[in-house]
Amino acid sequence: MSNVIAVDGPSGAGKSSVSKLVGKRLGYLHVDSGALYRIMTWQALARGVDVSDPAAVAAFADKVEIECRPEDGAVVYYVDGEIPGDRIRTPEINANASAVATVKEVRDRITAMLRAMADLGNLVVEGRDIATAVFPDSPARFYLTASAEARARRRRKEEVDKGVANQSEEAVKASLLARDLVDSTRRHAPLRKADGAIEIDSSDMTLEEVVEAVIGALPEGWAK
Ligand code: DC
């Protein structure tokens, strides 16, 4: 059985940067579960599915072919032979991904895909329900959080650096708070800190400090 490090938390808490670095340090594959929800959203919008209609999204859930390949320390997703890249990081996808992620059929499919990845090797998996629903038995479960201001600042910088958007910090904050609300109040696998998960507030911590905190809290023998 592989080791799985589960990292949950709201948008912009630093899950991606932290998980990627932890994976790199330990030689664990990095798994971005949010990207799978984004891919479903992207494909639904591209095919004209009404993403505000859960029945329409449910009917579409098994139509998207996603191939998962371990490459350069991460599980990389291919849709129709292509890596989606920044096409799944636009404000339009940000605004619609939460609605798609409320649909049980979508969650069931992605949960099954994530569990199957444990056959690929040791993993560090980031998301919203990894510690609560996908890998609840993992002994390495973390809840990464930060103030809304810190999260909006980071998310805005990311968008500007990638050239995908240039919104005000206020607009980014409003969009991520709206997403957090949907994510944490939905019926199926809502965002919450798993019982027994280790909570880390990264508002006033450097990336390096958070990485050290995660690695330092792993079970004996996991960080070799
Ligand atoms: O982490 P992210 O911003 O890329 O996530 C995109 C959306 O997917 C967001 O609305 C939360 C949702 N999500 C989820 O419901 N469960 C996960 N394990 C990961 C993401």
Any idea where the domains of the chain sit in the sequence?
4-215
Q: Are 98 and 48 in contact (CB under 8 A)?
A: no
Fold of 4-215: Rossmann fold (3.40.50)
What is the position in ligand 1's atom list of the atom closest to the CA of 11? 3
Q: What is the pLDDT of residues 66-89, one digit of tens each?
A: 999 999 999 999 999 999 999 999
What is the position in ligand 1's atom list of the atom closest to the CA of 15? 1
Residue closest via CA to ligand 1's atom 14 equals: 128
> Position of tokens 């969009």?
175
Torsion of the alpha carbons at 52, 54, 55 and 61, rounded to the nearest 10: 110
C-beta 154 within 6 A of ligand 1? no
Cα(199)–Cα(142) distance, integer angstroms: 6
| Residue 224 CA to ligand 1 centre (angstroms) | 30
Cα(134)–Cα(118) distance, integer angstroms: 11
C-beta 96 within 6 A of ligand 1? no
Give every residue of the chain whose pLDDT is below 70, as ranges: none
Specify the pLDDT at position 40: 98
Residue closest via CA to ligand 1's atom 11 equals: 98
| Residue 173 CA to ligand 1 centre (angstroms) | 16
